[in-house]
A = this chain, B = another copy of it.
């Protein structure tokens, strides 16, 4: 049994807990929280919640610690700190800062002799893998990544910061016409506006100026100004009834050519349609947690990403079983 600890118990931490339940070779041993442990109720019977300060003294009781904090401030500190004591895995997703995070974590994990997998999940993660595989197979080609339909937490938060807004949810929606053009093999150059649409559901405070809110959303730099944006005003009841889920997904498509004169077209497409973004992300992380423990057992150390993990490590099946049934 792989003994797992969860650091941080929000949507992602709860998703990890659910995913562990689906994997017979894994066992939840502890949940760590910055809140008062007495106030945190988890789903798994018989497992204790501890304060974060207690984690390090449990280092011999866990095969891996799964870090469920945020990429902005938690993970840049936590992953390198806990890699001193544990095999660790995170879902660090600030793409631009991955090289720096990798270097920091690698130094510590090599020193401690642990495995640390960073940036697992689906983007970065499964989407990254598909970009790598497709690009290696079709070197003469072009990549396209589309996101959605799904909830963007960052964009929802940005709307909530506008004066007069009580609640908001933003869906990122890939534009079908752009997807079709890519699938057709024409290798189109697509602008930001041509690829995605943004649809916002907003609960306004009483007496708020709706026209002004809509205008502020649509013209917000970085978040909305470069997109066609649709704004709907709804009630808090409608928000709770129709928009309480956290769906997401998207498409990674490579369109490439082969042949002596590059006369043949090929389309490789990978897509995800997810009812629960945090639970799917958690499911990817748990599979890579298994890989991390196995790689450590084989004597590997240091920081790894999905690019460095041979696929067989992810599966509970043996090499023989995989070759007989899945190859």
| Interface flag for A150 (CB, 8 Å) | no
Bound complex: CA A130 to CA B23 (Å): 19
Q: How far is the CB of A326 from chain B (nearest CB, A)?
A: 5
Residues of B within 8 A of A140 (CB): 22
Could you mark each residue 164-187 of chain A with 1 if its beta carbon is under 8 Å from any beta carbon of chain B, else 0? 000000000000000000010000
What is the total number of copies of this protein in its complex?
2
Residues of B within 8 A of A138 (CB): 283
Bound complex: CA A43 to CA B261 (Å): 11
A-B contact pairs, 26 of them (CB 8 A): A18-B260, A21-B260, A98-B323, A99-B323, A126-B133, A129-B133, A132-B312, A132-B314, A133-B314, A137-B314, A139-B316, A258-B275, A258-B276, A258-B283, A266-B272, A266-B275, A266-B283, A267-B271, A268-B271, A269-B269, A271-B271, A306-B327, A307-B310, A307-B323, A307-B326, A309-B310
| Interface flag for A95 (CB, 8 Å) | yes
Q: Is the Cβ of B258 less than 8 Å from the Cβ of A15? A: yes
Chain A, interface size category, equals: 35 or more
State whether A119 and B258 are in contact (beta carbons under 8 Å apart), knowing that A136-B315, A320-B99 are contacts in the complex.
Answer: no
Closest B-chain residue to A93, C-beta based?
A: B327
Residues of B within 8 A of A270 (CB): 130, 268-270
Q: Among B119, B183, B276, B315, which residue has its beta carbon within 8 angstroms of that of A132?
A: B315
Bound complex: CA A136 to CA B19 (Å): 11
Bound complex: CA A272 to CA B268 (Å): 5
Q: Is the Cβ of A284 less than 8 Å from the Cβ of B137? A: yes
State whether A259 and B273 are in contact (beta carbons under 8 Å apart), knowing that A136-B314, A327-B305 are contacts in the complex.
Answer: no
Closest B-chain residue to A246, C-beta based?
A: B264
| Interface flag for A13 (CB, 8 Å) | no
State whether A308 and B308 are in contact (beta carbons under 8 Å apart), knowing that A22-B139, A129-B133, A137-B287 are contacts in the complex.
Answer: no
| Interface flag for A113 (CB, 8 Å) | no
The 6 residue pairs across chains A and B that have the minimum distance between CB atoms: A264-B275, A136-B314, A258-B279, A307-B312, A264-B276, A267-B273
Residues of B within 8 A of A268 (CB): 126, 270-272
| Interface flag for A102 (CB, 8 Å) | yes
119-156 of chain A: CB within 8 A of chain B: 119, 124, 126, 128-133, 135-140
Further pairs besides A126-B268, A132-B322, A266-B272: 14, Cβ < 8 Å:
A18-B259, A99-B323, A102-B323, A124-B327, A126-B137, A137-B314, A264-B276, A265-B275, A266-B275, A267-B274, A269-B273, A270-B270, A305-B322, A307-B326
| Interface flag for A46 (CB, 8 Å) | no
